[in-house]
Structure 1
């Protein structure tokens, strides 16, 4: 975990993924609030015969209190309509995982066994870890979109609907790099959500979140889109390959995997993370990215991410000055902006294309780049095996290179 210094900006704090570990929550109900009277029945007032000191009947008051409980113009708004439209397709996802804790090797030492006797356990300890998240139906035949961290390593997945049904779920696939997963239940004719295009999302537009924060099913919160294209490094989620939508609609543990909606009730993002200790700062994965990943999980059960094989950093005046002070004869940076390659993995696509440490990437696929995340996004969009043209500056020389991304090597745990 990264330690934040007092002067560190709030957006540099690590993101907290909003899966709710399931715990017992007690709600204390107030008692003695019914307003009962201690007077005998003969002394209690009959409200139907009550007249005020002027002798006027309370019929006017009773008429007002008998106002029909039907929606009026001021009671209904676009949020109400969105909830009616979408809520049947939003689900609660309960998971459980059996965690085994291995005994320390020291417990097998005869000395410890003689010393502690029967106090030493002989078998690995097991416990059940439970969690609660959210999701939404994207296909009437039972396909549900959620976060990878909601279902990761789960032994049992249960999906609950707003109509009271609970069905067993099967994880078709998950992708930790984008935090997207697809769960399937055995059902037909399920209500579904409508997907928007996240390319049309703008800061300031309405944002509505529906999910199960703190296990409270079918909770609705409203805000606006605060920002778009927040990079993974901006929010402290450097292990993710996705830009984020920022919103101030309240998101809490248990909202993970639920939909972020526009004013028409269309899904614009998948709620996934918050900033620890902040208020009104939540993040969602753009729905275009989520749909692209979900399509691969449904058809292949996995996702192939393109791999370049470089370590890079956005070139800033401070970094350029630091390189100048280091007097490293192997690195000469004349460019004022771009993305500096710090390291090239031997045998990687970048190495085969001729990229070297000290090169400053100026454009990728004819798109100017000034941030490392922009390069990563262009690589991600290119796919595996595509031809990716790059313009780089090496010292005072401009070069045109072509890189062919390979599949990202599998990580070993």
Structure 2
């Protein structure tokens, strides 16, 4: 009897082992699922412990939501019109909008106002707004729309065409004002957010990095010291905010490099340091006052230095002097090379323009000059920079574009 039971047990074990071998060979996943049963019960507990701190309101890694939420209320949409009336839908002035949605959706006819679309940044709870000068250029009526849905007409306090900045003023209660950042703490590679109203689709946030600092010689403005970024900036973003990852204002978005009219990853913003100086000057005096000496400068290049036999390889060579101007009265002559002003090195014409502009008119500046390979010092009484000549009015089609 015992022998028969043992034989039966051995046969059963043999059959079970054969079945396990077959399953392991043909359907190994069956065994894996069974083996992971205990893990499937335990894994949610570990995951919940990792997620729990985030659910409690802590900062989420790789998210810039806090910075965006802090800055977005202070960024406004700016609508302007040249004949005192605004179209019902500002997007319809954009040719890209008409291309996608058709002319049947447009309300603007040839006899309707030339509208402009842009963005602005509330920089003071008293109602002061920074935007681009080209957004409000020649406008008869300006309307701003806040992120909370409120709207109001705005008044132009002053403009500075040479930096493409304008200061607007609205009278509204409980205005959210953005916090200004510090340019000296900004580095290439820092993450930034661009906030504005591209193509009139509504407030939009895009992300990128600081691609370069101190960009100039672009031919965009007279005074150039741009922040370059790859954060997407499109028509309608002009005058909007470029902010750091803490939601503080780094610059005013003003231009893009584009062959198609859309973003190619090369955008430019006016630094907050420049914007702040322009804002304070316009609020205080109604305009921006800059120094001026009345010369026509030209960069000293290796080719120019070689052709004139100059030992000086950098600086700004004086190509012309305005008769009776500050430089002429100080004895500066064509062919002189300006090397430094008040101890600040002059490396090119842009540097000369910026250094002179920061000197208060009526004060004396010490200029170090190279004349025929000989060095000398001249004292120049700085004059007041005359306003730039007004541009001729553009036709209606040109003026309707954002200008980015």
**Aligned counterparts, 1:70-149, within 5 A:** 77-98=62-83, 127-149=112-134
1:166 aligns with 2:143: no
- Match of 2:168? 183
d(CA) in 1 for partners of 2:162 and 2:274? 12
TM-score, normalising length: structure 2:
0.73
Contact 1:82–1:263 (8 Å) recurs in 2: yes
Contact 1:98–1:126 (8 Å) recurs in 2: no
Contact 2:142–2:153 (8 Å) recurs in 1: yes
Equivalent residue in structure 2 for 1:371, among 339, 342, 348: 348
- Match of 1:293? 278
SS of aligned partner of 1:128: coil
SS of aligned partner of 2:332: coil
SS of aligned partner of 2:83: strand
- Match of 2:306? 321
- Match of 1:273? 255
Contact 1:334–1:395 (8 Å) recurs in 2: no
- Match of 1:391? 368
- Match of 1:344? 321
d(CA) in 2 for partners of 1:133 and 1:176? 16
- Note closer, same or farther for the CA distance 1:179–1:359 as it changes in structure 2 (3 Å cut): same
d(CA) in 2 for partners of 1:401 and 1:305? 20
**Aligned counterparts, 1:350-365, within 5 A:** 350-365=327-342
Equivalent residue in structure 1 for 2:226, among 232, 244, 247: 244
In structure 2, the gaps of 5 or more residues are 1-40, 42-54, 85-109, 391-404
Contact 2:290–2:384 (8 Å) recurs in 1: yes
Q: Output the aligned Cα RMSD.
A: 2.5
1:138 to partner: Cα distance: 1.0
- Match of 1:403? 380
d(CA) in 1 for partners of 2:276 and 2:383? 22
* Segment of structure 1 superposing worse, 375-384 or 172-181: 375-384
1:226 to partner: Cα distance: 0.6
d(CA) in 2 for partners of 1:76 and 1:89? 25
1:411 to partner: Cα distance: 3.8
Name segments (4+ residues, structure 1) moved above 4 Å: 70-78
d(CA) in 2 for partners of 1:350 and 1:142? 41
In structure 1, the gaps of 5 or more residues are 1-59, 61-69, 100-124, 325-332
**Aligned counterparts, 1:7-26, within 5 A:** none
1:74 to partner: Cα distance: 9.4
d(CA) in 1 for partners of 2:178 and 2:165? 17
1:404 to partner: Cα distance: 2.0
1:223 to partner: Cα distance: 0.5
d(CA) in 2 for partners of 1:271 and 1:71? 35
1:72 to partner: Cα distance: 8.4
How many residues in Structure 1 have an aligned counterpart in Structure 2? 313
- Note closer, same or farther for the CA distance 1:361–1:76 as it changes in structure 2 (3 Å cut): same
d(CA) in 2 for partners of 1:322 and 1:396? 14
Contact 1:255–1:271 (8 Å) recurs in 2: yes
TM-score, normalising length: structure 1:
0.71
- Match of 2:13? none
SS of aligned partner of 1:228: strand
Equivalent residue in structure 1 for 2:197, among 209, 212, 229: 212
1:290 to partner: Cα distance: 0.5
1:267 to partner: Cα distance: 0.5
SS of aligned partner of 1:276: coil
Contact 2:195–2:203 (8 Å) recurs in 1: yes
SS of aligned partner of 1:98: coil
1:197 to partner: Cα distance: 1.6
What are the Cα deviations for residues 315-363 of structure 1, in whole angstroms up to 9, with x where unaligned? 1111223445xxxxxxxx3423222111111111111111111111111
Equivalent residue in structure 1 for 2:137, among 131, 152, 158: 152
d(CA) in 1 for partners of 2:205 and 2:67? 10
